[in-house]
Structures are given as C-alpha cells and as structure tokens.
Chain A
C-alpha cells in the first residue's frame, strides 16, 4: 500500500480534505434544531443581510449554514459567530426557505457546550453558564449577583467600568442586592440536573 505523507502535503495550505469533515454534523444539528429544512438552503444570503450583528462576524449566518451542512464542525464551533447571535429572529422571519436559523444557532451553542469547544476567552458563553447556574440554585436570577458573578469569572477589572452606572441605579432604588428565590428550591433542582461545569 502506498503511504501518503498527508500531513506534509497539506501543511500550511488552506485546503479541506473530506476526511477532516464530520459528515454527520449537518444531520445532527438539523435534528437538534427541529428541522431538516436547513438542507434546502439556497445560500441566498438574506439572513446575513438581515442580521444586525453579521458585520461583526467572520462567518456570517449563511456561511454557518453552508458549513454545518458540509460538516465543518471544528470551524463552526470554535468561531464566535454562534455566540454573537442575539436571537432577534430577523433571519428566521426573512428566510425564503423557511429555515429556522435562530434555532440552528441554539443547537450549535448547545453542541459547543456539550463538546466543550468555545472560542478562547469569549465572554458570552461565560455569561450563559453563570446565568444557568444561578437559576438552578435559586429559581430566579438577581441581576446584581448575576453580573458580579459573571465579571468575577470573566474579567473583574471590566466590572469597575460599570461602577458608576451601578451606583446610579442603586441610588435610584433600581438595584436589588438581595432577592428571594422560589420556594422548594430542591424540587426545582430536581427538574434540572447537574451544574454546567466550566
């Protein structure tokens, strides 16, 4: 059998081999997002044009759909695009093929969490997990404690830039430092299972 020095042959080249793709990725995400319609994408680009956040993304929503369909799992999950999605649903209502793109983004976020693949030091998944844990503990979220917890994990220094705002809100009695959660927190926890680890 002839041996191929594939690594050497592809080093430094911007080329994607079929063996590096996850062929089931498309089907899996389509299933998790409640719709196989994503295979009907005609790549018209309406979603990217409608998305108010696409200008900050290196892979626009249209590209993400194409990459999901083709199996570019690594690129999609390590990219910050899915975490930049603000769930405004503009893409979903405009798509001429009826693809629920926002739901696809949610499915990708979940896939990233399950696989523990995130863009490095990216704040959005950190907030998501903090939020999740707080709800699990208390049944409700107190914004003050949420944000403090978030900044503690992400970047404590950044929190100081919000100090003035925080103070103003506090003085206008719009911040609560204490918040009672729900009753029967234990039963609530049973509804949900383990804490999301970092």
Chain B
C-alpha cells in the first residue's frame, strides 16, 4: 500500500506546524507517506465560486498525479483540500458531462487516470487503518486527565464524511481517550470558524471564533485540538484581540491533534513546533 501525501498550500506556509507534527508522529510510528510531486493548489472554496469546471480540473490534476506516481491512497490533512478532493470525485462519479470534460482537459496536459484513488484524512488513517491500539502502544507520556475540547470544524465531516458521524463525530475524542486525556463534550464542536472571513470580514470572524474559544474554555477545557490548518490559525492567532474586544479572557492553548499526539508519544516541543505557537503553551507536563 503506497500512501501519497497532499499537503496543500496552507501546510507549506501558515500551517507548516501541522505538517511538521504529522510527519514527526508518523515517523515515530514507522509509517511513510510520500508527498505528491509537483502538486498544485486544490482550489479550496474559492475556485468553486468562480468557475466549477476549472475547480474540478485543478483538483483532478492532483488525483491524476497521485495515481501516476503509484499511489493507492492520498492522505490529505487540510480539511478544505480533503473535502474539495472528495467533492471532485463525487462530481466526476455522478455527472457524465463533467467526467468527460475532465478527462479530456487532463489529457491535454498529458495526464490520465481513473481519478478514483482513495482520499483519506489523517484522522481516518489513525483511527481506522493504524488503529487505536497501535497508537496506545506508542504513548509514553500519557496526558493524565488533561481536559481536551476536540474541534472538528465543518468541512472535515460535512458533507462527505465517510469515517465519522455527521452530528456527533467521535474520532478525535477517541484518540484523546487513548492518549490518556479526558474528552470534553461541548456543543459547538462542529460549528464553522468562518474560514477566511477573519481576514475579509473581521467583525464576523471575531464573533465566530470568540464563541468557540469561550465555550470550550468555560467548560473547563485545558486545550483545543483541531484537524484543519485554517481552524487552528483562526483560533490561535487572534486570542489577544478577541479577549480585549469582548472583555473576557479566552486565551488558551490551541494545537493540532498531531501535536497533542506527539506530546503523548514523548516527542520534544521543538520537534512538534510547539515553541512557535502564538497561543499560550500547555501548562502541564
């Protein structure tokens, strides 16, 4: 089984700690994933807003490249890329006109393929392929009842969730439990963080993120973990501004779930990039 890796634009810039921690954890577990050579931007939500055909074409290019490079599955950490690739596959499978067009356009650039390669999120990989037992075996520094609020966000589980429950997802919580932490229930765990609106519509972005931080913190969470680079960025980088704006201190650690896994595995803060965070550090061993 050859697992390809599609980072997406975010994981190479503001989300690079996600890639760093994911690789560190996979390394520890002796699991290899191969970055797709010459991958391009998946188009995210933007391309679909401008031209559907182009959106599908550029996403498909990555699928074709992965297939050509011998991949059986692609691991996609960014939730938007993950959803985008799944959506592309869904359109290609259900709409004949789109399917014909995509194959034709890709052929012009010398690419071909079924485009049906399995697209998998690392969360799915950890829980369903590698397995919770395997994860448990690598835990060297159990979290000792650390209260964790798992934030799933939107595009990871909607609308094409194949590996978790749409209304009450549990995969992050399962990992937290296996790492020795306490998984908190909080009702906003699948509520949108507003995506890019923290840049374009700051007043909207503020409120959307403030309520998430406040809800998690008021329920006693020690840390919020996420599975999407934009969610993590939004929750991490504006805490000071939000605390001042809403006159309530919502500063708290926000990290990628892979960073939490890495901590439980005993990896160093440097390896996981936890020394480069803008949100407070985890105040605990």
Q: Is A49 an interface residue (CB 8 A)?
A: no
Q: How far is the CA of A144 from the CA of B10 in the complex (A)?
A: 11
Chain A residues with CB under 8 Å of B237's CB are 165, 169
**Shortest distance from the beta carbon of B272 to any chain A beta carbon, whole Å:** 13
Nearest CB of A to B175, in Å: 23
* Nearest opposing residue in chain B for A134, CB measure: B41
Q: Report A78 CB to chain B, min CB distance, Å.
A: 16
- Interface size class of chain B, counting residues whose CB lies under 8 Å from the partner chain: 35 or more
Q: Tell me the nearest residue of chain B to A185, going by C-beta.
A: B40
**Residue pair B199, A52 in contact (C-beta under 8 Å):** no
| Cβ-Cβ contact count across A and B, 8 Å cutoff | 155
Interchain CB contact under 8 A, B192 and A124: no
Q: Quick check: which of A17-25, A61-69, A105-113 contacts chain B, the rest being far away?
A: A105-113
Is B9 an interface residue when CB atoms closer than 8 A count as contact?
yes
Neighbour of A191 across the interface among B109, B194, B208, CB < 8 A: B109
Interface residue B251 (Cβ < 8 Å from any Cβ of A): no
- Known contacts A123-B201, A135-B40, A143-B14; A191/B155 CB under 8 A: no
Tell me, yes or no, whether B125 is within 8 Å of chain A by CB. Answer: no
**CA gap between A92 and B13 in the complex, in Å:** 31
B14 touching A174 by the CB < 8 A rule? yes
CB within 8 Å for A140 and B12 given contacts A184-B38, A191-B57: yes
Taking CB atoms and an 8 Å cut-off, the chain A residues in 173-189 that contact chain B are: 173-176, 179, 182-184, 187-188
A72 lies within 8 A of chain B by Cβ = no
Given pairs A90-B192, A131-B44, A165-B278, 9 additional interface contacts (CB within 8 A): A92-B158, A124-B197, A129-B50, A131-B46, A140-B41, A179-B12, A183-B38, A191-B54, A191-B57
**Which of B's residues lie within 8 Å of A, judged by CB?**
9-10, 12-14, 16-17, 38-41, 43-52, 54, 57-58, 61, 91, 94-95, 105-106, 108-110, 154-155, 158-159, 166, 190-192, 194-197, 199-201, 204, 208, 237-238, 276-278
